[in-house]
Amino acid sequence: MATTATLTLASADIAGDPVSVSKIATLTKAGSTNDLDQSSGLNRVHLRSTANKVLLAANAEGSDLAAKVYIINKSDDASLYLTVTINAQTIGKLYGGDFLFIPWSQTDIHANIEVAATNWTSSTGDIPVEYALFHEDTDFLTNA
């Protein structure tokens, strides 16, 4: 039941020599070689709020289990960005077209992943956001 995530980073001109990074990870349960077996599927929402909205609600039972989060800002407008926060701490901003792929500890019920369309106005249009969560089944706290 393998799920793999492949990343490529490439630039011919950001440094004096080309940058070319290509890595593949098989998504596994915490401290185990067993594959992650749960997913939220690919979700899509349209953000039209400058206030933080809960994209993924933390489940305290998932604390320190393995979870991976993918989020992409699907806006074509490079200036429209999402501010991504965990537990009220700003992690970073995703501008139009940017994506992230991060681990998520769900340390407690306050560790929600929240997003805000910080510079949205009624004239900018909505920001389409797609996201997916890959995780362990928190109902069965084993790595079997």
Partner 1 sequence: MATTIASINITSTDLLSDSLSLSAIATLTTAGSSTGLTQTGGLARKTTESASQYTLFAATNYTDDKAHKIYLKNMETSAGLYFLISIHDVEVGRIYAGDWALIPWSADTTSDNADFKITPSTSASHTLEYMIIHE
Q: Which residues bind partner 1 (CB under 8 A)?
A: 1-15, 19, 21, 23, 25-28, 30-33, 35-37, 39, 41-42, 64, 66-68, 70, 72, 78-79, 81, 83-84, 86-95, 97-105, 107, 111, 132, 134
State the nearest-atom distance from the C-beta of 70 to partner 1, in Å: 6
State the nearest-atom distance from the C-beta of 138 to partner 1, in Å: 15
Q: Is 73 exposed, middle or buried (0-12, 13-18, 19+ CB in 10 A)?
A: buried
State the nearest-atom distance from the C-beta of 49 to partner 1, in Å: 19
Neighbours of 115 (CB within 10 A): 25
Q: Which is nearer to partner 1, 42 or 46 (CB)?
A: 42
**To the nearest 10°, the Cα dihedral for 30, 32, 37, 41?**
40
Query: Strand runs (DSSP E) across 27-126, as ranges?
Result: 38-39, 43-47, 53-56, 67-73, 81-86, 89-95, 99-103, 113-116
Q: Which is nearer to partner 1, 86 or 127 (CB)?
A: 86
Q: Which is nearer to partner 1, 35 or 126 (CB)?
A: 35
